[in-house]
Structure 1
Amino acid sequence: MTRLLVECTYVFEHPQANSGIQRVVRNVIRELPEPDGECECIPVVMLNGKLYRVLSLTPLPTPTFDLMSLRVRLEHWANAFWLRQRTLERRWPFHRSRLARRLLYVGCRVAAALCLSIPMRILDRQLNKDDIPARCAPLQHQPGDQLVLLDSSWHADFFPLAEQLKRDGVGIVSVIYDLIPLTHPQFCDAGLVRVFNDWFDWIARTADGYVAISTTIRDQVREEMLRRVGAKQVEQRWFDYFHLGSELDLTDETAAVDPGLERMFQSPDPVFLMVSTIEPRKNHAYLLDAFERAWASGSRARLCIAGRIGWKCDALIERIRRHPELNTRLFMFNSLSDRSLEHAYSRSTALVFPSYVEGFGLPLVEAMQRGLPAMGSDIPVFREIGGEFMVYFDLTDPQSLTTLVLDMERTGAFPAPRSVDQWHWLGWREASAQLVERVMRHLKKTPKGQRQHADCP
């Protein structure tokens, strides 16, 4: 029986993280198929140069103080602290004096180290010491095992262990969410671009197969592999894809909905919802431009931006916080729970998603599966997911979105060729089964003697 060792190291170490990849990993792991005599799926982590079977992906209940929640809260405070520092840099006297900016930065570094960075490092050590042994157990690998790199691993430190597993006869399969740091580096931090490029070089030399989350990304991966390792090596690898599910796994029906969100929906005026981390690639500035045109035309539609504050968005956040329509026709929520997000999906008029580039577009699926129609930028992966059930707007012209909003507000009708009521998408159980089935299908096609073709560094 083939064992699929499904790697989930980052989510194991950061169980409260809830962005796109972490949501995927958590749900796929939770819904892994039971052993069927042909395949056994085992969640694994690679820690300190060793392989472990995961016993619990989430922290175990403990009567002691919740250190993990404190660690997550400190991280949120750190992000807000540095956002405030960058905002202050653009104000008097700091924007006029290099010395003043330097003093501000040094003071902030000292304060952040004492109040945030050092406590976070102490908590990390304590959490690793107390929690990890109870949540996993050592696992001995075997020749013929397949290590499925499901989690985000470009920042990982387990590559020497993975290479040793490969030398011992373990196959390696890489799940790839997108190639944005390679294809659109302008939207990413320079450090991420460098790290991701090195990671892809490693994946290109080491993995036997690649599973993307859309046909669009699968084809991009094959093209990038052709460029890096050549046609002969590409012929020896396999490429496939699986689609993501749609359930919100952290929804707690007993939790309270965000009070500000509830107040917003008390008005009958339409609400257009945007769900994503706030960062340049998501194109929130385009949304503001389009809705400002609509408001200038007399529209009463509200724009609701839901998502944590990310990177390279200081000017945008300041624009939102100073906007004359803030909390009237423009709303922003940066820490909604899944319960509150469900509330927003169920009561909004439509989802708007103007992203420049995506590997999949999980909020589109989450919205449409709940009956919320979606408007998205006209990019290939959105066409793949939404087909005739979505409407698309031109990213070069905000007026194209403005017109859609005004027409929908005027007529009450969503202008897609087909109704979202007829649309159906797979759940996480089906998505997880699809991933396993496609990996196993390619393993059956490839004779065992040919599986170890990739070069080991």
Structure 2
Amino acid sequence: MTVRIGIDGRVLTDRYHGIGRVTHELVRAMAGTPGVELVVFTGEQSASRRFDLNLMAMLPGVEVVPVALNAVDVRQLWRWRPLLRGAMVDVMVFPYHLGAAPLLGRPAVALVHDCILETDPRFAPSPQVGFAYRIMTALVARTATIATVSRASAREVERFYGRRVHPDHVIGNGVDRLRDDPAAARRLESEYGLEPGYVLHVGAQRPHKNVAVLVEAIAEVPDARLVLVGSADERFPDEVAPAIERYGVADRVTRLPFVPEELLGTLYARAALLAYPSLVEGFGLPVLEAMVSRTPVIASDVPVLREVGGSAALYVAPRCARAWAAAITRLLADDDLRDGLVAAGAAHASHFTWGAAAARLVSACHSLAGTYLAEAAR
């Protein structure tokens, strides 16, 4: 049976950092799968600096259909049903669950990446946003098949929404070997002033990322340099700039809101280590990106990062700057520890592939579509 899978590709913009990346890689991995046709619905937002939709449209078995709906738009409550009927979609996948709509007339998979806003009210841009988010997520949890990117997120979905996620619907991220080349290294030096050997953090700077703890920690590690890659979120106060001023490390901290995709592998490879102090995550893809780039990782000792990093990372109490400083100092000085983590990380990351993630998603879609068609035929 050939199944036509609709993909909500409105997140393929620079606004949706990790979600856009996951969507892009899943589409690439599913393209050309026997018995699968993909219909990717894209939005009308400005062109992305990261994703080439024209190239996506050239992938085997992929059709790109622009739609005049934002990723979160009340009009989708009544617009999706005729769109899916016209495109002859059998099952719909929403990589960002808030883009999902009830009453589609066919089965849907909604990917809940995390429960960050539910964990702490301070992680929501406002109480109103946090409340609306929970109401919408509760609605989606009752009207769609929920998938998550980690077992930790599945537990949180059950905790906050009372919805058990089937083990087969835990669809972890994959990771590809990132390109590292001399031309990119020269660009990092000439355009960004980055010499190798820095402590690296990658991620949008929001409260749950806990980035200020790294600024405090770097102040206790003489001569260490910290590079923070990721855009600020204007909905939240900037916690990093005051920390830089408070600890007097402006000359040792570099903030880069955006780095082109073609430089990312070299950015990781030239780092002495990745420091990832998040208080909560849905997955934590930079941990694996560092590992495939043969860069050792220090991560917060929280369940999801233990799940993703396994025994191939060092773990630190997330809020303790002194512990972060000690771990950074230790890893910078201990070549044997570094070499061991590099080897373990490369082996560990090899188990996370987009092909495996895509296969799990396709299997779920086939099952849902088959059940739906069988019930419709009765």
- Same fold, TM-score > 0.5, yes or no: yes
Give, in angstroms, the shift of residue 326 of structure 1: 2.3
From 19, 22, 46, the equivalent of 1:21 is 19
1:44 corresponds, among 36, 41, 46, to 41
Alignment partners' CA distance in 2, 1:271 and 1:395: 20
| Match runs of 1:435-446 below 5 Å | 435-440=361-366
CA distance in 2, matches of 1:60, 1:253: 29
- The C-alpha deviation readout for 1:300-335, integer Å capped at 9, x for no partner, is 2211111111142324224436864324x2222112
Once the two structures are TM-superposed, the CA of residue 434 in structure 1 deviates from its matched residue by 3.0
Aligned partners of 2:346 and 2:112: how far apart in 1? 31
For 2:16 and 2:180, the matched residues in 1 are separated by 12
2:140 maps to: 203
- Tell me the secondary structure at the aligned position of residue 371 of structure 1: coil
Q: Which residue of 2 aligns with 1:149?
A: 94
Larger radius of gyration: 1
CA RMSD of aligned residues (A): 3.6
Relative to 1, partners in 2 of residues 1:394 and 1:59: Cα closer, same or farther, differing over 3 Å?
Answer: closer
2:232 is matched with which residue?
309
Post-superposition Cα deviations, 1:84-116, rounded to whole Å, max 9, x if no partner, equal xxxxxxxxxxxxxxxxxxxxxxxxxxxxxxxxx
Q: Who is 1:246 aligned against?
A: 175
Task: State the alpha-carbon separation in 2 of the partners of residues 251 and 145 from structure 1.
Answer: 40
Aligned with 1:291 (options 206, 218, 232): 218
**Partner Cα distance (2:140, 2:178) in 1:** 30
Give me the identity figure in percent: 23
1:30 lines up with 2:1 in the alignment: no
Unaligned runs of 5+ in 2: 45-50, 56-69, 71-82
1:5 equivalent in structure 2: 5
Unaligned runs of 5+ in 1: 48-56, 62-123, 125-136, 228-233, 452-457
Matched, 1:428 2:354: yes
Residues 183-213 of structure 1: CA distance to partner in whole angstroms, max 9, x if unpaired?
2232111243133212212212211x21100
| Alpha-carbon distance in structure 1 between the residues aligned to 2:124 and 2:179 | 28
Shift of 1:354: 0.2
Deviation at residue 377 of structure 1 after TM alignment? 0.2
Distance in structure 1 (CA, Å) of the matches to 2:264 and 2:116: 26
In terms of mean alpha carbon deviation, does 251-260 or 391-400 score higher?
251-260
C-alpha deviation, 1:141, in angstroms: 5.4
Residues 217 and 325, structure 2, Cα contact 8 Å, conserved in 1: yes
Contact 1:369/1:425 (<8 A) preserved: no
Letter in 1 for 2:39: I
Letter paired with 1:325: V
Query: Are positions 1:225 and 2:171 aligned together?
Result: no
Q: Evaluate the alpha carbon distance shift between residue 300 and residue 45 of structure 1 in structure 2; reply closer, same or farther with a 3 A threshold.
A: closer
Contact 1:27-1:249 within 8 A present in 2 as well: no
SS of the aligned residue for 1:335 comes to coil
Deviation at 1:282, TM superposition (A): 0.4
Question: Which amino acid counterpart does residue 40 of structure 1 have in structure 2?
Answer: E
Which residue is 1:194 aligned to? Answer: 131
Alignment partner of 1:265 is 2:189: no
SS of 2:269's partner is: helix
Of 105, 112, 116, the residue aligned with 1:180 is: 116
Does the aligned pair in 2 maintain the 1:353–1:376 contact within 8 Å? yes
Q: Which amino acid aligns with 1:242?
A: I
SS at match of 1:224: helix
Measure the CA separation in 1 of the matches of 2:4 and 2:148. 17
Give the Å deviation of 1:240.
1.9
Distance in 2 between residues matched to 1:435 and 1:252, nearest whole Å: 33
The Cα shift of 1:348 comes to: 0.7
Q: Is the 8 A contact 2:200 2:273 kept in 1?
A: yes
**What TM-score do the two structures reach when normalised by structure 2?**
0.77
Task: Quickly say closer, same or farther: Cα 1:396–1:17, change in 2 above 3 A.
Answer: closer
Cα 1:375–1:29 shift into 2, 3 Å: same
Amino acid at match of 2:228: I
The correspondence of residues 160-179 of structure 1 with structure 2, limited to 5 A, is 162-163=102-103, 165-166=104-105, 170-179=106-115
Q: Secondary structure of the equivalent of 1:395?
A: coil
Give the Cα separation in 1 of the matches to 2:369 and 2:120.
33
**Conservation of the 8 A alpha-carbon contact between 2:113 and 2:149:** yes
Is residue 2:308 matched to residue 1:385? yes
Q: Is 1:351 aligned to 2:294, yes or no?
A: no
Task: Decide whether the 8 Å contact of 2:178 with 2:289 is kept in 1.
Answer: no
* Counterpart in the other structure of 1:275: 202
In the alignment, structure 1 residue 400 sits paired with structure 2 residue 337: no
Distance 1:59 1:278 in 2: 27
Change in CA separation of 1:414 and 1:195 when aligned onto 2, cut-off 3 Å: farther
Q: How many residues align?
A: 339
Q: How far 1:340 sits from its partner (Å)?
A: 2.6
CA contact (8 A) 2:4 2:90 kept: yes
* Distance in 2 of aligned mates of 1:11 and 1:253: 32
Q: CA deviation at 1:357?
A: 0.1
Q: Give distance in 2, aligned partners of 1:386 and 1:43.
A: 32
| Aligned counterpart, 1:66 | none
> Residue 31 of structure 1: SS of its match in structure 2?
helix
